[in-house]
Amino acid sequence: METWLKGENEAEIQVKVCPKCKTPIINTQRYSEYLKKAMVDIQNVKKRLNGSPEANREMRLQLWARILLLKHHHISKFSILFSSALKETESRLEETKWDVERGRVRQSFNAVILNSITSKVQILEHIAKIFVSGTDSPEVQAQLSFILDCIQRNEVHVTNQEIDDIQMEISRLKRRILSMFKRPSVTPAARIQHIEKLVNTRNRYTKAIDESVQEMMKTLESGIKISEFKCPNGHPYIITECGGAMQEYTCPEAGCGEKIGGTHHTLIGTNQLASEMDGARFAAWSNMANNLGNYDIPM
């Protein structure tokens, strides 16, 4: 029994229990040393989760200041969705004050709750940073509503996975907003449509998709030499720099998984040029292109 108590669930901090019936072992003189150690570990964990009153009060004051700045941000004036989420977060913080219950003063907040509120405030700050006045299209509002709904679903705790997913959705929102302002007449319409398709899809927005969108938007801004190709399933992608294939990747389109790109300026055999995107007849790096096959030069 002593060996079991000493080695039982060393990676977990919990009340010791009987290995047979799982009844908590609370009061026994024989094993008091092990029980005391377990209780000390539990108390230390509670202290870390609850945080010190001084640190909690300081964190709470900082959150109030950040929320006040958001209330004066222009997005709060024209986005009802954002204002509603901010008000709910503010109310949650208001509940963390000291209060009186049945004649006793109790602390109704701890570090776990404050960290959860902090995560939500950070998300609201990210949204406010990228939001531009006038971006009130149905697509943008739907994406904004989805993100704000996600951060309000769980009142107590936001997991790291949820934060990562929300950050990717914020990236999608950012690309969606930027795409609304990247419509000069010289921009290939098909390329813009493909960007919008990637950011407007209801599929999960992944890092691979976001990187693909970023690359396409960079080419729109800088006009650098690119080639546009299609994977075996017809999903378009781009190759920048010299326009020649130098690496192999996986198609970023959700559920596709086909290989794209190539090596040594040689495209994978199953891929092909996406002429419909920009009207090019040859890849930017090819014998024909290098002989000016992609350009109409008056003689």
Task: Give the tens place of pLDDT for each residue, 125-146.
Answer: 888 887 765 566 777 778 888 8
Residue 45 to residue 264: CA distance in whole angstroms? 56
pLDDT band, residue 154 (cuts 50/70/90): low
pLDDT band, residue 282 (cuts 50/70/90): very low
pLDDT band, residue 62 (cuts 50/70/90): very high
Alpha helices in the chain (DSSP H): 2-7, 32-50, 53-71, 74-78, 80-94, 111-130, 138-153, 160-179, 189-200, 207-222, 275-278, 287-290
Q: Can you give the pTM of this predicted structure?
A: 0.51
Res 212: pLDDT: 77
Residues 199-249 pLDDT 10s: 777 677 778 778 877 777 776 655 545 567 788 888 877 665 554 567 788
pLDDT surpasses 50 at 95? yes
Res 67: pLDDT: 92
Choice between 50 and 168, residue whose per-residue pLDDT is larger: 168
Opening angle at CA 129, ends 194 and 112, nearest 5: 110
Res 47: pLDDT: 72
